[in-house]
Structure 1
Amino acid sequence: MADKRAATPEGTIFDGPNALGETEANAHSKAGNTKWYFSAAAVVVEFLKHLPTHKRQYLRRIELHEDFKSVNRPEYHARGLIQYCVENLLLRIERHIGLLSNMLPLTSKYVDRRGSVQWRSQSSSNWIKGEEALYATWDWVEEALQLSARGMPRQCFKLTIDGSNREAQEAWDLIKHVALLQEAMNLWGAYHEKEAGPVKSDPYSFYSRWPVPWYMPAHFPQTIRDIMRGSSIVRFPGTDSAP
Protein backbone atom coordinates (compact mmCIF):
# COMPACT_ATOMS: atom_id res chain seq x y z
CA MET A 1 0.00 0.00 0.00
CA ALA A 2 1.29 3.44 -0.82
CA ASP A 3 1.13 6.17 1.80
CA LYS A 4 -0.15 9.44 0.47
CA ARG A 5 1.44 12.69 1.57
CA ALA A 6 -0.26 16.01 2.01
CA ALA A 7 0.14 18.33 -0.95
CA THR A 8 0.88 21.99 -0.40
CA PRO A 9 -1.78 24.50 -1.50
CA GLU A 10 0.73 26.09 -3.89
CA GLY A 11 1.01 22.83 -5.82
CA THR A 12 -2.66 22.11 -6.32
CA ILE A 13 -5.46 22.99 -8.68
CA PHE A 14 -8.63 24.35 -7.13
CA ASP A 15 -12.03 23.74 -8.67
CA GLY A 16 -12.50 27.49 -8.98
CA PRO A 17 -14.94 30.10 -7.75
CA ASN A 18 -17.43 29.50 -10.54
CA ALA A 19 -17.81 25.84 -9.59
CA LEU A 20 -18.55 26.68 -5.97
CA GLY A 21 -20.28 30.02 -6.43
CA GLU A 22 -17.64 31.86 -4.42
CA THR A 23 -15.58 34.97 -5.01
CA GLU A 24 -12.00 34.50 -6.13
CA ALA A 25 -10.67 35.79 -2.82
CA ASN A 26 -12.79 33.35 -0.81
CA ALA A 27 -11.86 30.48 -3.11
CA HIS A 28 -8.13 31.09 -2.71
CA SER A 29 -8.52 31.56 1.03
CA LYS A 30 -10.28 28.22 1.44
CA ALA A 31 -7.77 26.50 -0.84
CA GLY A 32 -4.93 27.83 1.28
CA ASN A 33 -6.51 26.50 4.46
CA THR A 34 -7.26 23.05 3.07
CA LYS A 35 -5.02 20.02 3.42
CA TRP A 36 -4.73 18.47 -0.03
CA TYR A 37 -3.61 14.94 -0.86
CA PHE A 38 -1.84 13.24 -3.73
CA SER A 39 -3.36 9.99 -4.94
CA ALA A 40 -1.69 6.69 -4.08
CA ALA A 41 -1.15 6.18 -7.82
CA ALA A 42 0.70 9.50 -8.11
CA VAL A 43 2.95 8.60 -5.16
CA VAL A 44 3.80 5.20 -6.66
CA VAL A 45 4.56 6.73 -10.06
CA GLU A 46 7.02 9.07 -8.36
CA PHE A 47 8.54 6.15 -6.44
CA LEU A 48 8.98 4.01 -9.55
CA LYS A 49 10.54 6.90 -11.43
CA HIS A 50 13.39 7.03 -8.91
CA LEU A 51 13.80 3.26 -8.62
CA PRO A 52 16.63 1.85 -10.79
CA THR A 53 15.44 -0.06 -13.84
CA HIS A 54 17.02 -3.35 -12.78
CA LYS A 55 15.19 -3.18 -9.43
CA ARG A 56 11.85 -2.44 -11.08
CA GLN A 57 12.20 -5.73 -12.95
CA TYR A 58 11.87 -7.62 -9.66
CA LEU A 59 8.49 -6.10 -8.83
CA ARG A 60 5.53 -8.45 -9.15
CA ARG A 61 2.57 -6.89 -7.33
CA ILE A 62 1.52 -3.41 -6.23
CA GLU A 63 -1.74 -2.61 -4.43
CA LEU A 64 -2.92 0.98 -4.42
CA HIS A 65 -5.51 1.93 -1.81
CA GLU A 66 -7.07 5.30 -2.55
CA ASP A 67 -8.53 6.08 0.86
CA PHE A 68 -9.02 9.84 0.64
CA LYS A 69 -10.10 12.47 -1.86
CA SER A 70 -7.04 13.64 -3.81
CA VAL A 71 -6.19 16.42 -6.23
CA ASN A 72 -5.95 16.85 -10.00
CA ARG A 73 -8.39 14.26 -11.40
CA PRO A 74 -6.97 11.18 -9.63
CA GLU A 75 -8.81 8.78 -11.97
CA TYR A 76 -6.25 9.80 -14.63
CA HIS A 77 -3.18 9.12 -12.51
CA ALA A 78 -2.93 5.42 -13.45
CA ARG A 79 -1.76 6.56 -16.88
CA GLY A 80 1.63 7.18 -15.31
CA LEU A 81 1.92 3.46 -14.52
CA ILE A 82 1.67 2.33 -18.14
CA GLN A 83 5.36 2.67 -18.98
CA TYR A 84 6.37 0.56 -15.98
CA CYS A 85 3.91 -2.21 -16.85
CA VAL A 86 5.16 -2.26 -20.44
CA GLU A 87 8.69 -2.43 -19.09
CA ASN A 88 7.79 -5.32 -16.74
CA LEU A 89 4.98 -7.50 -18.08
CA LEU A 90 5.03 -9.61 -14.90
CA LEU A 91 3.98 -6.66 -12.77
CA ARG A 92 0.38 -6.72 -11.49
CA ILE A 93 -1.21 -3.52 -10.20
CA GLU A 94 -4.56 -3.44 -8.44
CA ARG A 95 -6.06 -0.06 -7.60
CA HIS A 96 -8.72 0.07 -4.87
CA ILE A 97 -11.24 2.91 -4.71
CA GLY A 98 -14.46 3.56 -2.82
CA LEU A 99 -17.51 5.74 -3.20
CA LEU A 100 -17.21 7.14 0.32
CA SER A 101 -13.45 6.90 0.75
CA ASN A 102 -12.17 8.84 -2.26
CA MET A 103 -14.71 9.18 -5.10
CA LEU A 104 -17.05 11.65 -3.41
CA PRO A 105 -17.62 14.55 -3.06
CA LEU A 106 -17.39 15.46 -6.74
CA THR A 107 -15.94 18.89 -5.94
CA SER A 108 -13.06 19.72 -3.61
CA LYS A 109 -15.25 21.47 -1.05
CA TYR A 110 -14.79 20.18 2.52
CA VAL A 111 -12.40 17.43 1.41
CA ASP A 112 -10.44 17.57 4.67
CA ARG A 113 -13.30 18.45 7.01
CA ARG A 114 -15.37 15.27 6.92
CA GLY A 115 -15.18 14.72 10.65
CA SER A 116 -15.77 18.32 11.65
CA VAL A 117 -18.93 19.98 12.87
CA GLN A 118 -18.56 22.52 10.05
CA TRP A 119 -18.65 19.87 7.34
CA ARG A 120 -21.59 18.03 8.89
CA SER A 121 -23.59 21.23 9.30
CA GLN A 122 -22.81 22.84 5.92
CA SER A 123 -22.96 19.81 3.65
CA SER A 124 -25.55 17.17 2.90
CA SER A 125 -23.49 14.52 4.66
CA ASN A 126 -26.50 12.35 5.47
CA TRP A 127 -27.44 11.70 1.85
CA ILE A 128 -25.87 11.28 -1.58
CA LYS A 129 -27.42 12.29 -4.88
CA GLY A 130 -27.86 9.30 -7.15
CA GLU A 131 -26.55 11.17 -10.17
CA GLU A 132 -23.37 12.10 -8.30
CA ALA A 133 -22.74 8.45 -7.46
CA LEU A 134 -23.33 7.60 -11.13
CA TYR A 135 -20.99 10.32 -12.42
CA ALA A 136 -18.23 9.47 -9.95
CA THR A 137 -18.36 5.74 -10.67
CA TRP A 138 -18.54 6.09 -14.44
CA ASP A 139 -15.63 8.53 -14.64
CA TRP A 140 -13.36 6.04 -12.86
CA VAL A 141 -14.64 3.03 -14.82
CA GLU A 142 -14.35 4.68 -18.21
CA GLU A 143 -10.83 5.93 -17.54
CA ALA A 144 -9.73 2.45 -16.40
CA LEU A 145 -11.14 0.92 -19.58
CA GLN A 146 -9.27 3.47 -21.70
CA LEU A 147 -5.89 2.47 -20.25
CA SER A 148 -5.43 -0.44 -22.67
CA ALA A 149 -5.91 1.91 -25.62
CA ARG A 150 -3.15 4.06 -24.13
CA GLY A 151 -0.77 1.10 -24.00
CA MET A 152 -1.47 -0.59 -20.66
CA PRO A 153 -1.07 -4.39 -20.97
CA ARG A 154 -4.50 -5.75 -20.06
CA GLN A 155 -3.20 -8.37 -17.64
CA CYS A 156 -1.23 -5.80 -15.64
CA PHE A 157 -3.98 -3.60 -14.22
CA LYS A 158 -7.27 -4.00 -12.37
CA LEU A 159 -9.58 -1.47 -10.75
CA THR A 160 -11.49 -2.65 -7.68
CA ILE A 161 -14.42 -0.63 -6.36
CA ASP A 162 -15.39 -1.25 -2.75
CA GLY A 163 -18.90 -2.66 -2.64
CA SER A 164 -19.00 -3.60 1.03
CA ASN A 165 -21.18 -0.74 2.31
CA ARG A 166 -24.85 0.07 1.82
CA GLU A 167 -24.17 3.22 -0.19
CA ALA A 168 -22.07 1.31 -2.71
CA GLN A 169 -24.75 -1.38 -3.01
CA GLU A 170 -27.43 1.23 -3.69
CA ALA A 171 -25.19 3.03 -6.19
CA TRP A 172 -24.59 -0.24 -8.04
CA ASP A 173 -28.34 -0.94 -8.17
CA LEU A 174 -28.86 2.55 -9.60
CA ILE A 175 -26.15 2.03 -12.22
CA LYS A 176 -27.72 -1.25 -13.37
CA HIS A 177 -31.13 0.43 -13.52
CA VAL A 178 -29.73 3.24 -15.69
CA ALA A 179 -28.13 0.70 -18.04
CA LEU A 180 -31.45 -1.13 -18.44
CA LEU A 181 -33.32 2.11 -19.03
CA GLN A 182 -30.81 3.15 -21.67
CA GLU A 183 -31.24 -0.11 -23.55
CA ALA A 184 -35.03 0.19 -23.30
CA MET A 185 -34.95 3.75 -24.62
CA ASN A 186 -32.68 2.73 -27.49
CA LEU A 187 -35.05 -0.11 -28.43
CA TRP A 188 -38.00 2.27 -28.28
CA GLY A 189 -36.14 4.77 -30.45
CA ALA A 190 -35.21 2.10 -33.00
CA TYR A 191 -38.81 0.87 -33.18
CA HIS A 192 -40.18 4.38 -33.69
CA GLU A 193 -37.24 5.43 -35.88
CA LYS A 194 -36.23 8.19 -33.49
CA GLU A 195 -32.86 9.14 -32.11
CA ALA A 196 -31.82 11.16 -29.10
CA GLY A 197 -30.97 14.70 -30.10
CA PRO A 198 -27.92 16.59 -28.81
CA VAL A 199 -27.84 16.53 -25.03
CA LYS A 200 -27.67 20.34 -24.97
CA SER A 201 -31.09 20.44 -26.60
CA ASP A 202 -32.61 18.91 -23.49
CA PRO A 203 -33.94 21.63 -21.13
CA TYR A 204 -32.55 19.72 -18.15
CA SER A 205 -29.00 19.57 -19.54
CA PHE A 206 -28.21 22.73 -17.57
CA TYR A 207 -28.66 20.75 -14.36
CA SER A 208 -27.39 17.32 -15.35
CA ARG A 209 -24.67 15.83 -17.55
CA TRP A 210 -27.10 13.15 -18.75
CA PRO A 211 -30.70 14.31 -18.13
CA VAL A 212 -32.05 10.86 -19.08
CA PRO A 213 -30.27 7.51 -19.70
CA TRP A 214 -30.76 7.96 -23.46
CA TYR A 215 -27.79 10.34 -23.42
CA MET A 216 -25.40 7.96 -21.66
CA PRO A 217 -22.38 6.71 -23.67
CA ALA A 218 -23.45 4.02 -26.15
CA HIS A 219 -21.15 1.41 -24.60
CA PHE A 220 -22.45 1.96 -21.07
CA PRO A 221 -24.82 -1.07 -20.91
CA GLN A 222 -22.22 -3.48 -22.29
CA THR A 223 -19.62 -2.14 -19.87
CA ILE A 224 -21.91 -2.82 -16.92
CA ARG A 225 -22.72 -6.27 -18.31
CA ASP A 226 -18.99 -7.08 -18.59
CA ILE A 227 -18.44 -6.07 -14.96
CA MET A 228 -21.31 -8.32 -13.87
CA ARG A 229 -19.90 -11.25 -15.85
CA GLY A 230 -16.43 -10.79 -14.43
CA SER A 231 -14.87 -10.25 -17.86
CA SER A 232 -13.83 -6.64 -17.20
CA ILE A 233 -10.67 -5.24 -15.63
CA VAL A 234 -13.07 -3.43 -13.28
CA ARG A 235 -14.30 -5.39 -10.26
CA PHE A 236 -17.06 -4.48 -7.82
CA PRO A 237 -16.73 -7.10 -5.03
CA GLY A 238 -19.43 -7.13 -2.40
CA THR A 239 -22.18 -6.65 -4.99
CA ASP A 240 -23.84 -9.10 -7.36
CA SER A 241 -21.20 -8.12 -9.93
CA ALA A 242 -18.58 -10.28 -8.25
CA PRO A 243 -17.91 -13.40 -10.36
Structure 2
Amino acid sequence: MQSLYALHQAIRRGQPCVASAVNPLRFVPLLLIMMIVMTQNALAAPSDAPLAQAPGNTDGWSNFIGANGPPSESILALQRTADGTLWVGTTAGIGIRTADGQWTTFSMDDGLAGNRVTAFATDPANPHLHWVATNGGATLIDDGGEPANKDGFRWVTYGQRDGMLDHRLSSIAIGPNNEIWFGLSYITDDGETRIGNGISVVNTNGTPFDKTDDTWHSYTAENSYLSTNVIYKIDADA
Protein backbone atom coordinates (compact mmCIF):
# COMPACT_ATOMS: atom_id res chain seq x y z
CA MET A 1 0.00 0.00 0.00
CA GLN A 2 1.37 3.36 -0.96
CA SER A 3 1.66 6.04 1.71
CA LEU A 4 2.76 9.65 1.87
CA TYR A 5 5.28 11.36 4.10
CA ALA A 6 5.52 15.07 4.80
CA LEU A 7 8.99 16.34 5.61
CA HIS A 8 8.01 18.81 8.27
CA GLN A 9 11.12 18.49 10.41
CA ALA A 10 14.66 17.95 9.21
CA ILE A 11 18.20 18.06 10.52
CA ARG A 12 19.02 20.99 12.78
CA ARG A 13 15.57 22.03 13.87
CA GLY A 14 13.87 22.18 10.53
CA GLN A 15 16.70 23.54 8.40
CA PRO A 16 16.57 22.17 4.83
CA CYS A 17 19.33 19.82 3.75
CA VAL A 18 21.61 21.42 1.16
CA ALA A 19 24.79 20.50 -0.67
CA SER A 20 27.46 22.89 -1.83
CA ALA A 21 29.70 22.49 -4.85
CA VAL A 22 33.30 21.50 -4.13
CA ASN A 23 34.65 24.38 -6.17
CA PRO A 24 31.72 26.48 -7.49
CA LEU A 25 33.93 29.14 -9.05
CA ARG A 26 35.61 26.57 -11.26
CA PHE A 27 32.80 24.25 -12.22
CA VAL A 28 29.45 26.04 -12.09
CA PRO A 29 28.08 29.49 -11.15
CA LEU A 30 26.30 28.15 -8.09
CA LEU A 31 27.06 29.01 -4.50
CA LEU A 32 24.38 26.71 -3.14
CA ILE A 33 22.85 23.64 -4.72
CA MET A 34 19.44 22.65 -3.37
CA MET A 35 18.62 19.81 -5.75
CA ILE A 36 20.28 17.90 -8.58
CA VAL A 37 18.50 15.98 -11.31
CA MET A 38 19.75 13.72 -14.07
CA THR A 39 18.90 14.90 -17.57
CA GLN A 40 20.01 12.54 -20.33
CA ASN A 41 23.42 11.60 -18.90
CA ALA A 42 23.89 15.09 -17.49
CA LEU A 43 23.42 16.92 -14.23
CA ALA A 44 21.35 20.04 -13.73
CA ALA A 45 20.95 22.05 -10.55
CA PRO A 46 18.68 24.93 -9.44
CA SER A 47 20.03 28.01 -7.69
CA ASP A 48 20.03 31.81 -7.75
CA ALA A 49 22.46 31.68 -10.69
CA PRO A 50 21.85 30.56 -14.30
CA LEU A 51 20.78 26.98 -14.84
CA ALA A 52 23.87 24.88 -15.50
CA GLN A 53 24.29 21.42 -16.98
CA ALA A 54 27.33 19.18 -16.85
CA PRO A 55 27.51 16.51 -19.58
CA GLY A 56 28.29 13.14 -18.05
CA ASN A 57 31.16 12.33 -20.40
CA THR A 58 32.99 15.68 -20.62
CA ASP A 59 34.50 18.25 -18.29
CA GLY A 60 32.56 21.17 -19.78
CA TRP A 61 29.51 22.95 -18.39
CA SER A 62 26.66 24.50 -20.38
CA ASN A 63 24.72 27.46 -18.97
CA PHE A 64 21.14 28.18 -20.00
CA ILE A 65 20.25 31.85 -19.76
CA GLY A 66 18.17 34.44 -21.60
CA ALA A 67 16.47 33.22 -24.78
CA ASN A 68 18.33 29.91 -24.40
CA GLY A 69 17.01 29.15 -20.96
CA PRO A 70 14.26 29.50 -18.35
CA PRO A 71 12.41 32.79 -17.70
CA SER A 72 14.50 33.64 -14.62
CA GLU A 73 17.93 32.86 -13.21
CA SER A 74 16.35 32.22 -9.78
CA ILE A 75 15.54 28.53 -10.01
CA LEU A 76 13.52 26.82 -7.29
CA ALA A 77 12.54 23.43 -8.73
CA LEU A 78 13.55 20.92 -11.40
CA GLN A 79 11.86 17.84 -12.78
CA ARG A 80 12.78 15.57 -15.67
CA THR A 81 9.97 13.55 -17.22
CA ALA A 82 10.18 10.16 -18.90
CA ASP A 83 10.36 11.69 -22.39
CA GLY A 84 13.47 13.68 -21.42
CA THR A 85 11.71 17.03 -20.96
CA LEU A 86 13.12 19.24 -18.20
CA TRP A 87 10.60 21.34 -16.27
CA VAL A 88 12.27 24.28 -14.52
CA GLY A 89 10.48 26.21 -11.77
CA THR A 90 11.64 29.80 -11.32
CA THR A 91 10.51 33.05 -9.71
CA ALA A 92 9.07 34.13 -13.07
CA GLY A 93 7.19 31.02 -14.14
CA ILE A 94 8.14 27.74 -15.80
CA GLY A 95 10.84 26.99 -18.33
CA ILE A 96 10.32 23.81 -20.34
CA ARG A 97 13.23 22.25 -22.25
CA THR A 98 12.43 19.32 -24.52
CA ALA A 99 14.83 16.46 -25.17
CA ASP A 100 15.86 18.04 -28.48
CA GLY A 101 16.79 21.32 -26.79
CA GLN A 102 13.72 23.48 -27.52
CA TRP A 103 12.75 25.97 -24.80
CA THR A 104 9.32 27.40 -24.03
CA THR A 105 7.96 29.27 -21.01
CA PHE A 106 4.65 29.26 -19.13
CA SER A 107 3.70 31.99 -16.65
CA MET A 108 0.71 33.77 -15.10
CA ASP A 109 0.12 35.42 -18.47
CA ASP A 110 -0.55 31.94 -19.86
CA GLY A 111 -2.69 30.69 -16.97
CA LEU A 112 -0.23 29.67 -14.25
CA ALA A 113 -1.61 30.22 -10.73
CA GLY A 114 1.53 32.09 -9.61
CA ASN A 115 4.94 32.91 -11.02
CA ARG A 116 6.99 31.61 -8.09
CA VAL A 117 7.17 27.88 -8.86
CA THR A 118 8.32 25.69 -5.98
CA ALA A 119 7.62 22.08 -7.02
CA PHE A 120 6.37 19.71 -9.73
CA ALA A 121 4.60 16.36 -9.68
CA THR A 122 3.89 14.41 -12.87
CA ASP A 123 0.97 11.97 -12.76
CA PRO A 124 2.43 8.43 -12.85
CA ALA A 125 -0.69 7.22 -14.66
CA ASN A 126 -0.53 9.93 -17.34
CA PRO A 127 2.89 11.41 -18.19
CA HIS A 128 1.26 14.39 -19.92
CA LEU A 129 -0.33 15.68 -16.68
CA HIS A 130 1.88 17.92 -14.55
CA TRP A 131 0.91 19.43 -11.20
CA VAL A 132 2.73 22.68 -10.43
CA ALA A 133 3.04 24.26 -6.97
CA THR A 134 3.27 28.07 -6.91
CA ASN A 135 2.86 31.06 -4.61
CA GLY A 136 -0.64 31.56 -6.01
CA GLY A 137 -1.99 28.04 -5.73
CA ALA A 138 -1.57 24.96 -7.90
CA THR A 139 -1.91 24.52 -11.64
CA LEU A 140 -2.52 21.25 -13.47
CA ILE A 141 -1.13 21.28 -17.01
CA ASP A 142 -1.96 18.71 -19.69
CA ASP A 143 0.78 19.14 -22.29
CA GLY A 144 -0.97 16.84 -24.77
CA GLY A 145 2.30 15.10 -25.52
CA GLU A 146 3.74 18.30 -26.99
CA PRO A 147 5.54 20.15 -24.16
CA ALA A 148 7.10 22.64 -26.61
CA ASN A 149 3.66 23.83 -27.77
CA LYS A 150 2.12 25.75 -24.89
CA ASP A 151 -0.73 26.95 -27.12
CA GLY A 152 -1.98 23.37 -27.04
CA PHE A 153 -1.86 23.07 -23.24
CA ARG A 154 -4.99 22.41 -21.23
CA TRP A 155 -4.82 23.75 -17.70
CA VAL A 156 -6.79 24.36 -14.51
CA THR A 157 -5.86 26.09 -11.25
CA TYR A 158 -6.59 25.23 -7.62
CA GLY A 159 -6.51 27.65 -4.68
CA GLN A 160 -8.19 28.83 -1.51
CA ARG A 161 -11.51 29.35 -3.27
CA ASP A 162 -11.56 25.61 -3.95
CA GLY A 163 -10.68 24.42 -0.44
CA MET A 164 -6.95 25.00 0.21
CA LEU A 165 -6.06 26.47 3.59
CA ASP A 166 -3.58 28.83 1.90
CA HIS A 167 -2.48 29.61 -1.65
CA ARG A 168 1.29 29.67 -1.03
CA LEU A 169 2.65 26.20 -1.77
CA SER A 170 6.02 24.69 -0.91
CA SER A 171 5.48 21.16 -2.23
CA ILE A 172 3.11 18.86 -4.04
CA ALA A 173 2.66 15.08 -4.32
CA ILE A 174 0.29 12.62 -5.96
CA GLY A 175 -1.25 9.91 -3.77
CA PRO A 176 -2.42 6.42 -4.74
CA ASN A 177 -6.15 7.16 -4.96
CA ASN A 178 -6.45 10.35 -7.01
CA GLU A 179 -5.45 12.53 -4.04
CA ILE A 180 -3.19 15.53 -4.56
CA TRP A 181 -1.26 16.64 -1.46
CA PHE A 182 -0.25 20.29 -1.12
CA GLY A 183 2.37 21.49 1.37
CA LEU A 184 1.45 25.01 2.47
CA SER A 185 4.52 26.99 3.52
CA TYR A 186 6.31 30.12 2.37
CA ILE A 187 9.19 32.42 3.24
CA THR A 188 8.49 36.03 4.13
CA ASP A 189 9.68 38.78 1.79
CA ASP A 190 12.64 39.58 4.03
CA GLY A 191 13.82 35.98 3.73
CA GLU A 192 14.02 35.62 7.50
CA THR A 193 10.93 33.63 8.42
CA ARG A 194 9.21 30.53 7.07
CA ILE A 195 5.46 30.49 7.67
CA GLY A 196 3.57 27.21 7.59
CA ASN A 197 -0.11 26.38 7.19
CA GLY A 198 0.01 22.59 7.15
CA ILE A 199 -1.27 20.36 4.35
CA SER A 200 -4.35 20.42 2.14
CA VAL A 201 -5.45 17.34 0.20
CA VAL A 202 -7.91 17.15 -2.67
CA ASN A 203 -9.35 13.94 -4.09
CA THR A 204 -10.22 14.67 -7.71
CA ASN A 205 -12.02 11.33 -8.13
CA GLY A 206 -10.14 10.90 -11.38
CA THR A 207 -11.56 14.06 -12.96
CA PRO A 208 -9.05 16.82 -12.17
CA PHE A 209 -10.46 19.19 -14.80
CA ASP A 210 -13.94 18.87 -13.28
CA LYS A 211 -14.01 20.23 -9.73
CA THR A 212 -17.65 19.43 -9.03
CA ASP A 213 -16.85 16.03 -7.50
CA ASP A 214 -13.74 17.09 -5.55
CA THR A 215 -13.42 16.41 -1.82
CA TRP A 216 -11.00 18.31 0.44
CA HIS A 217 -9.25 17.63 3.75
CA SER A 218 -6.62 19.63 5.58
CA TYR A 219 -4.09 18.68 8.26
CA THR A 220 -2.34 20.99 10.69
CA ALA A 221 -0.42 20.70 13.94
CA GLU A 222 -3.68 21.53 15.67
CA ASN A 223 -5.86 18.77 14.19
CA SER A 224 -3.38 15.99 13.33
CA TYR A 225 -0.06 14.41 14.26
CA LEU A 226 1.99 17.02 12.42
CA SER A 227 4.50 18.48 14.86
CA THR A 228 4.67 21.75 12.92
CA ASN A 229 2.76 23.47 10.15
CA VAL A 230 5.94 24.22 8.19
CA ILE A 231 6.09 21.72 5.32
CA TYR A 232 9.26 21.48 3.24
CA LYS A 233 8.44 18.52 1.02
CA ILE A 234 5.88 15.76 0.55
CA ASP A 235 6.88 12.46 -1.04
CA ALA A 236 4.92 9.37 -1.99
CA ASP A 237 6.35 6.13 -0.60
CA ALA A 238 5.97 3.51 -3.30
Q: Normalising TM by the smaller chain, what interval?
A: under 0.3
Normalising by structure 1, what TM-score?
Answer: 0.24
Structure of higher CA gyration radius: 1
Higher relative contact order (CA closer than 8 Å, sequence separation 6+): 1
Higher fraction of strand: 2
Higher fraction of helix: 1
